[in-house]
Structure formats: structure tokens, C-alpha cells
Structure 1
Amino acid sequence: MKLPLHYLPGNDTAVSGNASKLMILLIDLFAALMSFSFGLLLTDNMDIYNQGIFLIGTGLIVLLALRGLSFYIFKTYLIIIRFAGLRDARNVFLAVLTSSAAFFIATLFFPVLLKTDDNWKIIVVDAVVLIALAGGFRLALRTLADVNRGRMHNGASRINTAIFGAGELGAQLYQVLKQNVNHDYRVMAYFDDNEKVHRKHLNGIPVYNPDKSFEAIIKKYHIKTAIIAIGPSLAEERRIRFIDQCLKHKVKVKKVPVTEAWIQNDLQVDKLRDIKFEDLLNRPPITLSLNAIEQSIKGKTILVTGCAGSIGKEIVRQCLRFEPHLLIGADVAETPLAEAALSFQEHIKARRLKTIIADVRDEERMRRLFESHCIDYVFHAAAYKHVPIMEDHPEEAIKTNVQGSYNMARLSSEYKVGKFVMVSTDKAVNPSNVMGASKRIAELYVQSLSNRSGNETQFITTRFGNVLGSNGSVIPIFRKQIEKRQPVTVTHKDITRYFMTIPEACQLVLEAGSMGNGGEIFIFDMGKPVRIYDLAQKMIQMAGFTPGEEIEIKISGLRPGEKLYEELLDNGENTRPTHHQKIKIASVRACDHNSVTLAIHQLIALASEGAPPREIVRCMKDLVPEFTSQNSDFEELDRPRTGSKG
């Protein structure tokens, strides 16, 4: 339960305890006595002979009683000095106004209380003076507290800070920093794009135009930290441009929490957080309506393959939010599975989650799993994903990415699973490497099952790009290199990739699964592709270093199978919209189930029998004609194929 502001815990400046409350009340009553006396004098109604007795008479007792009652009702004696402000001033105003009105009405019925012809003038002057005295008393306490805090922390080492946003949020941030001494920020300047506030002051702090004065102000005040204090109205491109300005000048950037925390007076300085790379994606975060997802998962038995991987683990975490009857997580990697189980102990003990070691390549093991559980929903995330490794071991890509997907999809259809959702990749589009081609072959088989006679399972495929922070992704690699002060390695200066966060990717997988009817390939809008070289520069700057000087960026050359940019659609595919603007359906060519199945059987046989890699890859290219190897020994297989086209 949230306590009212008056009861918030304070420090040595807080007024607390019955004695302190009584002291505040007595000071206010003394101010009431002084203000009334001043009202009599100012209105020239202080007749010492006729009215002097009033000062110790019934009228004064009634007035002070009304004042005391109103002060009690409006809690004016319950203040925390470091939070004294508009709310306390409002309470004083209402208390004085109410008691003055009550006293005026009393004098109408009982004229003996105030024997003058100008009762209303005296009462008005009395009220104005009392508001000034009581409000001034609180302002003086607040000022003394601020001065005292300043003395206490004059010797403390604080970081010169700028606030981006001279609006309501920026003003609130300053007040929180001012009231809370346990932080390292000294606000020296505001930046704001609004021309109306330029060259003005907010809370006594000057406001500057960031486009015209940023560099000069950063140098003038030796700014080391900037805090973004603008809500959702701030355009993504503008936010990123300001962050880039800060990083260029070695200014650390922080951001405020969600706006709701401020509205509820729940902001704490320790909730300010550093920006992360996802804050630099040139698009707003992807948000979804969770109602449809909940309806499709609640009370169901869910199977997630690859549950110990980055994507699989997050799918498990998000599915558990929607209260499935049972969630089965399967993975072949022992140590990651044990670590995943530890993070889900609560759900395992409640028998909502069951983790098992199982290899999707082992058809009999997976069949026993389907026989022992009535599975409603399969999320197939198990796969090999590292491009250079699969380029060296195409037989393993076939066994896991193709045979594993073949086993899971066929068993799902055989055991009449409601939905099967396969996690694919943008590398399956016009593949340039073995890994991408193996995922495209898996897509072809899953699609073909939707059209097979007698199938009752809805087969759905989802494609997305690189996932921030996933195992083996570029972000953790760059971060480790920077921590060790090693050169950051980028394969090519112009290489670009699409990025999304792990929670975004998994939410979109769940959403696509809930909306799919079978046979669709869903692709996700991930904004603009990011140049990896720019990513490396920003990560070095975010760590407080200068790219090219303190930490070098080294171009290592494209890896086998790697291409400069990824695609979400091949040349023969178009899209159609869905109810969610970030999710589209790829219109792909139809594929015959029997012919695809025969080709996959041939591929699996080659991989199982230890056929030469060139023979395996040649077979893959027959099944996926758009598969054109890049920066790979398998490029030779494309030369005669290219000549035969046309």
C-alpha cells in the first residue's frame, strides 16, 4: 500500500513525532493570532478601549478554535521539509479559507464576536496575512533544509549533468534529484528542442538548444552525464540523434523509467538506468496485445524444443505467464538445460514445467514423448545457427535443422497437435550459406505438410533476424572484446543486419502462432537494418572509449557463407498484412509434399551415410534453387548452375 506523501519516510529533515506535530500546530496558531492583530491594525479598527478586550475574549477563542480545527482537518502540521511544496501550500490555503469563511458566518449570527463595521475587510486581510505567514514558515524550513543538505554534500564528488527535456518530466527529475541527496548528479543545464524555452530557466537552471549549443555547453560545464527526461512523445530518430551526440563527446547517457512511475510519485534515483543497444534501434519497441496469446495457450500442454537456448528459454518464460496446463521443455544440451531448470524451479515444483533431455534428431525418443503426453502446441526452436560452423559441417546442419524439423513436424501431424510453430531465420531467404539453406528446406517441408491430405495440424513458420544478446550474437562478442581492451572485429565495413530483442522476438512468435491458420510464413517488421561497423563504434563509445584511438575496429573479412545484408523475402515473395502492423505474411510458392519429402529423405541419407560435403550441398541446391553460396568453397557448385539458367 502506498502511503500519502505526508507520511513518506524521511531523513533528519523530516518533521515527525507528536512533539514536532504539536510544535508546527502551535506556530500556525501563533501566526493566526498575529495575522488577526495585523488585520485590525491595517483596517484601522483597533480601538484599544472598545476592542482590546477582544484579544483575550470569546471571539479570539472561537477564531483560534476554528483555525485549529481546519489545520487538523487538512493535516497542515504533517509535513516533510524536503518535500514541502505545492501540496502543502494548497492545504494551508484550504485550511485558512475554510476557517475564515466559518468565522465570517459566525460573526453574522453572533455580532458580539467582532464589533466593527468592516468585518469582511478584517477577515480578508487576516486570511491573506496568515497564508503568507504559514506558507513563508514552510518555505523557510524548506530553504534551511536545502542549505543544510548542500553543506553536507559540498565536499562530495558529483558529476556535472545535463537533462534532455525541459518539460514536466525534466522538472520532476530535477526536484527528485534535489530532494534526494544519495546520488552523484549535479544538474548544470537543460537541453530542449522547444524554441519557446530556449534562454530561459527551469528550476533556476538554464535551458539550451541542443542543435546549436550542445558542444559548447558540454565543454563549458564539463558535462559527463546526460539524462533523457522526455516521455513517449520523443521521436525515436531524435532520441537516437541526441544519444549519438552524447556518445561522440564521451557523455554517459541515462534514461528515466516509464512515465507511470513519475505520475504515481514513485520515482527513485536508483531507477535511472543506462541506455542499452536496444535503445539505439531506429524504431519504437514492439508491443503486442496479449489476449489472443493467452487464449491460445491457457490450459494447454505445450512442447518447446531447444528450450535451453536464448529463444527457447524466453518462449518458455513467456508461455508460463499464460498458465498452460503443462509446459515441456526439451533440449539436448545438458549444462544449459540444468541452468534453465534452476531458473524455473518454482514452476517445476508446481508441476507446471517439465524439462527433459531429448534430441529432435532421435525420432523414437520424440515419439515416446508424444505418446506419453497429449500435446496441443509445439514451438520448435531447436536448431544449429552458426553460419561458419555449419559451412564446415553441412551433414550436421541436415541432421539437426532438416531431420530434426522433419521429425517434429511429422510427429505433430501424426499425433494431431493443434499448432506447430517453427522458428526460422531471415538467412533462409535467398540463402548464401548451408545454415540458411537448411532452414529453408525445413520451411518447405513444414509448408508442404499443411497441404497434405488428412493433416489436421496448423503449421506456421516465423522468420526474424538477429536477436540482441542471444548466445553467440555479435553484442556479447563485442562486449567481451571491449572489456579486454582488444580490437573489435567486424567482418566488413558495410555489412548490415536486422536486430530485435529476445522478448520482442518471442512475443512475436507467440502472436504469430495464435493468429496463424496453417501454411503461413510470418515475417516481422524489425525497422531499418543496422550497420555492424556503426554498432561497434557506439558500443565502444558507450563504454567510454574513443573508437580508432583507445580501441581499434579491425576488419577481419567476410566469413564463409556470410553476405553483406539479410533479406526477409526472396525475389518471388510478396507480403500481405495481418491485424498487427509489425507482422506480415509472406506469399510463398506452393510446394508438393511428396516431392519435398523424397528430396529430404535423400538429403538425410547422404548426411547419415557420411557423404562428401560437396555432394550434400549439391543436393541442397537442387532442392533450393535460390541457394547461391558466397565466400565459400561451395561457390564452384553454382557456376554450371548459373550457366544453365535462362
Structure 2
Amino acid sequence: MIRFLRSALVFLFDLFAVAIAWCGGLLLRFNFDLPSEYVRLAFLGLGGLLVVHAVACRWAGLYRGMWVFASLPDLKRVLKAVAVSGVALLVWVALDRGGTAIPRSMIVLYPVLLLLVMGGGRAAWRMWKEHRLYGGLIAQGKPVVIVGAGRGGAMLMRELERSPDWRVVALVDDDLGKWGMELFGIPIVGGLGALPEVLREFKASHVILAMPSAATETLRRATDIGVRAGAHVFTVPGLEELMNGRVSISAMRPVEIEDLLGREPVSIDTENVQAMLAGRTVLVTGAGGSIGSELCRQLSRFEPGILILLESSEFALYSVEQWFARNRPDVRVVPLAGDVKDGVRLEEVFSAWAPQIVFHAAAYKHVPLMEVGNAWQAVRNNVLGTLQVATHAERYGAERFVFISTDKAVNPTNVMGATKRLAEMVCEALHSFGTKATQFEVVRFGNVLGSTGSVIPKFAEQIAHGGPVTVTHPEINRYFMSIPEAAQLVLQASAMGHGGEVFVLDMGEPVKIVDLARNMIRLSGYSDDEIRIEFTGLRPGEKLYEELLADAEATMETPHPKLRIARSRSVPEAFLDEVREWLSQPAPVSDDDVRSGLKRWVPEYVPANHGVKSVESGQAQVREQV
């Protein structure tokens, strides 16, 4: 009823606008002294135009929009209705052969006045309504400077006008043509380099980045300038969505280190991935880990028939199972506790479910921990676990087996990297000398942001405790990508593989860890003097530079720009039997014996000797301290 009454009132206003435009036009034509012979014409014309305009307004859809949000689409509808009325008047003038001729000037005066009344009325209503709702907020809120005076900045300002928390005082933009102009009454005062001075002048301590299409380098520069000036720098995630009206300003958040690492959005061939996964039984090992859990989330988009989650950590398995219960209850999930080294459990899982696609993400990945005292466990988990899962997949007829590897498998200097390379070779051997029933593929990539044991959560914790932030070496660098990006590219690689490939993900440019630490300190609102960086020396097995391709390897392009195929050396036919024999020896196996065994099959493995101590010496040191 309220909607009907509102539409009826707007309809009456539009008819009133016709009366004002028609009568007002005649009065203007005759200098407000309407001749008596035109009075009858005025009433006759008004009646006809009211009928025509009523039909035109309905046809133009004028009563679907809300006046308080009157905008360009509403103006277009008004123009349509006015155009129909104007054409009707033009036809009348052309056909009129009566005694009292309609003034030709009305062909212009009537539609112009009608447009002014209809459009102006709507604009005035919106201005009055917004002033009543938000006018009291204009002088409130924290002063803020917006970086970017384009469409993104304009949409952001519209949102901020309705917020009591923010008050836009100025904008900066590197486009010289915009300097000195205004956006919704707010001045554009200069370029990005002027930001510190602008913040001081307007006594602002907050900056919001509104640059949805800016390069990462520009975003990094803007953040750095703002942080150095002592400001809190914010961004709006998915600003394109904000521009489309789908995200509220409450989604605004501080700039994070992930925003500055330059990772572009990933596009994958969803049709092929869908064809590979839809309706299939899919097994993910290590399903509760950083990569494994994200892989499961990405897999759920492609309608697998059954998704089997195999995980040794009870809490991690519970967490990922609860995520599916909350967010994707439509996906049939089978959470199974189990260790990839446990052949009996694997036999039980594969015989019961016979998965068609296997993603093997379970692994020990922490380099220093696996280097001293845990080397044989790294071998058992990373190599034996891979061999166990892969042979079960082959025996039970899985179509694909995808092994998640690491850049540390290239020219490894640590046990963890060497075990991952040996596991890659296991997959290559099974592809070359196995039953050919299963396609074995390897996907190799570097560090992922926010993963378990990642340097970024560690730095964040150290900053929260006041520092120092510990970096092993001033020159150490690493490749980084986001967890969702890595998971999507794993799916893409698995869909395009034919078996035997080692896919290498495009990790972009390596990032110096010390620069990462400095940026995180500044983004947290501290200077380098307030929280210092301390260099602790390379840890056991750690190397300065990670590589994605070994020296003896060449790469081939693939249809996807972020994926390449590494051609590694062939694996001898006796390899699998020798590795099985080595893995079957009874524990314990010393760290030195593990390294010797790894070097036998991975000749490019050259153990780093910095910081490496035997378990016995480490235990002796602990006893001495006690």
C-alpha cells in the first residue's frame, strides 16, 4: 500500500510538471500576458499532453526508481518520457490547421521546462533527503585524505558521505589535469608526492587508497609515503565491487603486506577443471593443512561427487570439516583421520572409497626442524608417505595423482627439499614404469602467504610484542604467492596434465625478507627506530635464494601464462626397488646417514653446513644450560 501511494504521488507530480511546463511556456512566450484567444488552446493542449505524458511515463518505467537514490538511470527515464511528450507536441504543431496557431517556440520551451521540473524535482528531493539523513555528519568523523580522484575515488566519497566515522578533507592524484579541481566539493590538491604536506595542512592522520586499477608499484609507493608521514593507510578490498554497490564501506581495512606483493588475480580454465572433477570421488591428503584445506575449498566449487579429507591432525581435520558444514553443506565430505605412512589405514581408505582423483598435499615442510633430529622422519613422511599413497592410487585405478611439491626441491641444500625432490622422482618413476592406469603429475611452487610456519605470521607476532623482528640474513629472499592462487593453479595444472609432468608455477619476482619485515613494521604504525630488525644468521639447511628450476632442467610453455613444465632428468628403472629397500630399514637412522642416502639419488643435493648440529650435541647443550 505504501509503495502504491508513493508511486501515485510521484505520478501526480509528473502530471503537475506537464501543467507547469505547458502553461509556463505559454506565459513566457507572451511575456506573462496571455491573449484571451489562447486560453481555450491552453486548456485543450494541457488535456491532450496530460494523457500522452501519463502513457509516456509508464512506458519509460519512471516509477521503479527511488527518488532518494535518483541517479543517471532515472534521468534517462525522464528524458524518454519528455522526448515522447515533445514529439507529441511537434506532431500536433505540424498537423494543426486551426484558427489559433500553437506558437512554434513551444516546441522548445515545453520539453525544456518539463525536463527542468521533472529532473530538478527529483534532484531536489534527493538533496533534501540526504541532508536530513546525513547532513549532521558533515562536520563529524576523522579527517581523511583519499588517494585517487577517479571513478573509484568518487564512489568511495559517496559512501564516506554517509558515514559518521570519516570526513574527506582532500584528494591527491598523480594526474596533473585534475589538480586544482574539485570532486563533490572536495579539492584535489596535488599528486602523491604532496601527501605528507597535505596531511599536515589538513591535520589528517588517515589515508584511504582508491586505486582499483593501479599497478602494485604505485600502491606500494602510496602506502610507503603515507606510512612514512605517520598516517594510517587503508584500502577497500574489492573496490570494483564497491563501485558496483555490492560492498559497504564497513569492509574497509588497513593495507596489508599481501596487498604490496604484486600478485595478480588468477584466471583458470574452469570448464576443463569442472570436467575433471564433477561427480568424481576426490581424495586430498593433508586436507587440514594450509594448502590442503584451501585446495578442498577450491575443489568444492567444481561439484565433486565425494570429497575425502585425510588428515593426521585431529583439530585440523575438525576445522576443515566444520568449514564445509557451515559454508558448503551441499558437498558430500568424508573426514578421515589417518597417517600417509600407515599402509593399513591407506588400504582401508582406498578399498572403501576408490578415489578417482588424488591430491597429495601431506608433508613435513619446516626446513630447520627437519634438518636436525628429524631427518629420517622427514624421509618417512615425505618420501615413504608419497610412495604409499601413490602406489595405492595406482592399485585402485585412480585416474590422476597430483603431488604438491616445493621450490626447495630444486638444487636442495636441506633434508626437507631433498626429500621432496626424491618424492617427485617417485612419481616420475611410477609414471614411467608403472601400470599406466594412473596419470602422475607434480606441481612445484614456493612460499604461500599466511601458511603454517610462514614468516608473515611470525613477523606479525614479533611486532605485536614490540620486536625485535628477526631476519636470518640481509640478502635472503623468497618467492611468495597467496594460498588461493596456489590452490587454483594446482587445479589448473592437474586438468591440463597428461602424466609425467613437473609443473612449475609462475611465482613472480622474489621478495627480500628484510624488505618484507620493514614494510610490515611500517604498516603496523611503527618506525624502523621503534621496532628494530635483528639478523640472526641462516638456520640449519636454509639457503639465501630459492630456485624453481634445477640447472639441468629446461622448461616448456603451457597454454596457461602462469604455468610451465620442467623437463628433468630421467629416473632409472631400478630406482623404485632401491628406494623401497632404503625406506624399509629399521629406525633409528642418523641424520648423517639420511643425508648420505639422499645424495645417492639426488646428486644436486649439497647440504648446507651453517648452523647444523647433531642431535647429540644439541642435547648436550641443553643439559649444560640446565
TM-score calculated relative to the size of structure 1: 0.86
Once residues 519 and 127 of structure 2 are traced to their aligned partners in structure 1, the CA distance between those partners, rounded to angstroms, is 43
**Residues 345/628 of structure 1: CA separation in 2 closer, same or farther (3 Å cut):** same
Structure 2 equivalent of residue 38 of structure 1:
24
**Residues 448/75 of structure 1: CA separation in 2 closer, same or farther (3 Å cut):** closer
1:148 aligns with 2:132: yes
Q: Report the AA paired with residue 264 of structure 2.
A: P
1:162 aligns with 2:142: no
Once residues 372 and 18 of structure 1 are traced to their aligned partners in structure 2, the CA distance between those partners, rounded to angstroms, is 62
Task: Please tell me whether the aligned partners of residues 354 and 397 of structure 2 are also in contact (alpha carbons under 8 angstroms).
Answer: no
RMSD between aligned residues: 3.0
2:225 to 218, 221, 245: 245
1:626 aligns with 2:610: no
For residues 392-407 of structure 1, the aligned pairs below 5 Å read: 392=372, 393-407=374-388
For residues 355-374 of structure 1, the aligned pairs below 5 Å read: 355-374=335-354
Q: Report the AA paired with residue 308 of structure 1.
A: G
SS of structure 2 residue aligned to 1:156: coil
Task: Please tell me whether the aligned partners of residues 380 and 583 of structure 2 are also in contact (alpha carbons under 8 angstroms).
Answer: no
Can you list the C-alpha shifts for 1:235-288, whole angstroms capped at 9, x where unaligned?
A: 33323322333333333121352536634x445323445433322123412321
1:615 aligns with 2:593: yes
SS of structure 1 residue aligned to 2:560: coil
For residues 291-440 of structure 1, the aligned pairs below 5 Å read: 291-345=271-325, 352-392=332-372, 393-440=374-421
Once residues 130 and 309 of structure 2 are traced to their aligned partners in structure 1, the CA distance between those partners, rounded to angstroms, is 56
Once residues 68 and 371 of structure 1 are traced to their aligned partners in structure 2, the CA distance between those partners, rounded to angstroms, is 73
Select between 380-389 and 265-274 the one with higher mean Cα deviation.
265-274
Can you list the C-alpha shifts for 1:326-369, whole angstroms capped at 9, x where unaligned?
A: 22221221221122222223799768221111111122221232
Task: Please tell me whether the aligned partners of residues 418 and 456 of structure 1 are also in contact (alpha carbons under 8 angstroms).
Answer: yes
SS of structure 1 residue aligned to 2:498: coil
Structure 2 equivalent of residue 3 of structure 1:
none
Select between 485-494 and 138-147 the one with higher mean Cα deviation.
138-147
Task: Please tell me whether the aligned partners of residues 140 and 164 of structure 2 are also in contact (alpha carbons under 8 angstroms).
Answer: no
Once residues 156 and 409 of structure 1 are traced to their aligned partners in structure 2, the CA distance between those partners, rounded to angstroms, is 63
Sequence identity, in percent? Answer: 36
**Residues 47/449 of structure 1: CA separation in 2 closer, same or farther (3 Å cut):** closer
Q: Report the AA paired with residue 124 of structure 1.
A: V
Once residues 331 and 103 of structure 2 are traced to their aligned partners in structure 1, the CA distance between those partners, rounded to angstroms, is 78
Can you list the C-alpha shifts for 1:4-61, whole angstroms capped at 9, x where unaligned?
A: xxx9xxxxxxxx7555555554454444434333323332385543334555x43433
Task: Please tell me whether the aligned partners of residues 307 and 332 of structure 2 are also in contact (alpha carbons under 8 angstroms).
Answer: yes
TM-score calculated relative to the size of structure 2: 0.89
* 1:69 Cα deviation from its structure 2 partner: 4.4
Hey, which bits of structure 1, 4+ residues long, moved more than 6 A?
Answer: 346-351
**Residues 83/375 of structure 1: CA separation in 2 closer, same or farther (3 Å cut):** closer
1:126 to 110, 116, 141: 110
**Residues 189/613 of structure 1: CA separation in 2 closer, same or farther (3 Å cut):** same
Task: Please tell me whether the aligned partners of residues 93 and 102 of structure 2 are also in contact (alpha carbons under 8 angstroms).
Answer: no
Task: Please tell me whether the aligned partners of residues 431 and 500 of structure 2 are also in contact (alpha carbons under 8 angstroms).
Answer: yes
Once residues 482 and 149 of structure 1 are traced to their aligned partners in structure 2, the CA distance between those partners, rounded to angstroms, is 42
SS of structure 2 residue aligned to 1:119: coil
Once residues 34 and 423 of structure 2 are traced to their aligned partners in structure 1, the CA distance between those partners, rounded to angstroms, is 102
**Residues 120/522 of structure 1: CA separation in 2 closer, same or farther (3 Å cut):** same
Structure 1 equivalent of residue 427 of structure 2:
446
Select between 27-36 and 92-101 the one with higher mean Cα deviation.
27-36
* 1:631 Cα deviation from its structure 2 partner: 4.4
**Residues 440/102 of structure 1: CA separation in 2 closer, same or farther (3 Å cut):** same
Select between 439-448 and 221-230 the one with higher mean Cα deviation.
221-230
User: For structure 1, which runs of at least 5 residues remain unmatched after alignment?
Assistant: 1-6, 8-15, 637-646
Once residues 586 and 609 of structure 1 are traced to their aligned partners in structure 2, the CA distance between those partners, rounded to angstroms, is 35
Task: Please tell me whether the aligned partners of residues 152 and 210 of structure 2 are also in contact (alpha carbons under 8 angstroms).
Answer: yes
Once residues 357 and 79 of structure 1 are traced to their aligned partners in structure 2, the CA distance between those partners, rounded to angstroms, is 56
Once residues 371 and 97 of structure 1 are traced to their aligned partners in structure 2, the CA distance between those partners, rounded to angstroms, is 74
SS of structure 2 residue aligned to 1:304: strand
Structure 2 equivalent of residue 198 of structure 1:
179
2:38 to 44, 51, 57: 51
Once residues 78 and 353 of structure 1 are traced to their aligned partners in structure 2, the CA distance between those partners, rounded to angstroms, is 45
Once residues 346 and 262 of structure 2 are traced to their aligned partners in structure 1, the CA distance between those partners, rounded to angstroms, is 42
Structure 2 equivalent of residue 641 of structure 1:
none
* 1:451 Cα deviation from its structure 2 partner: 1.7
1:96 aligns with 2:79: no
Task: Please tell me whether the aligned partners of residues 347 and 353 of structure 1 are also in contact (alpha carbons under 8 angstroms).
Answer: no
Structure 1 equivalent of residue 541 of structure 2:
561
Can you list the C-alpha shifts for 1:499-535, whole angstroms capped at 9, x where unaligned?
A: 1111111111122222222222111111011111111
Once residues 76 and 316 of structure 1 are traced to their aligned partners in structure 2, the CA distance between those partners, rounded to angstroms, is 48
Task: Please tell me whether the aligned partners of residues 93 and 104 of structure 2 are also in contact (alpha carbons under 8 angstroms).
Answer: no
* 1:309 Cα deviation from its structure 2 partner: 1.0
Once residues 515 and 444 of structure 2 are traced to their aligned partners in structure 1, the CA distance between those partners, rounded to angstroms, is 25
Structure 1 equivalent of residue 617 of structure 2:
none
**Residues 320/42 of structure 1: CA separation in 2 closer, same or farther (3 Å cut):** closer
Task: Please tell me whether the aligned partners of residues 324 and 331 of structure 2 are also in contact (alpha carbons under 8 angstroms).
Answer: no
* 1:81 Cα deviation from its structure 2 partner: 4.5
Once residues 319 and 151 of structure 1 are traced to their aligned partners in structure 2, the CA distance between those partners, rounded to angstroms, is 48
**Residues 378/86 of structure 1: CA separation in 2 closer, same or farther (3 Å cut):** closer
Structure 2 equivalent of residue 639 of structure 1:
none
Structure 2 equivalent of residue 185 of structure 1:
166
* 1:65 Cα deviation from its structure 2 partner: 4.0
Task: Please tell me whether the aligned partners of residues 305 and 379 of structure 1 are also in contact (alpha carbons under 8 angstroms).
Answer: yes
Structure 2 equivalent of residue 60 of structure 1:
46
SS of structure 1 residue aligned to 2:462: helix
* 1:306 Cα deviation from its structure 2 partner: 1.0
Task: Please tell me whether the aligned partners of residues 257 and 273 of structure 1 are also in contact (alpha carbons under 8 angstroms).
Answer: no
Once residues 27 and 299 of structure 1 are traced to their aligned partners in structure 2, the CA distance between those partners, rounded to angstroms, is 58
* 1:70 Cα deviation from its structure 2 partner: 3.7
Task: Please tell me whether the aligned partners of residues 147 and 192 of structure 2 are also in contact (alpha carbons under 8 angstroms).
Answer: no
* 1:498 Cα deviation from its structure 2 partner: 0.7
Number of equivalenced pairs: 611
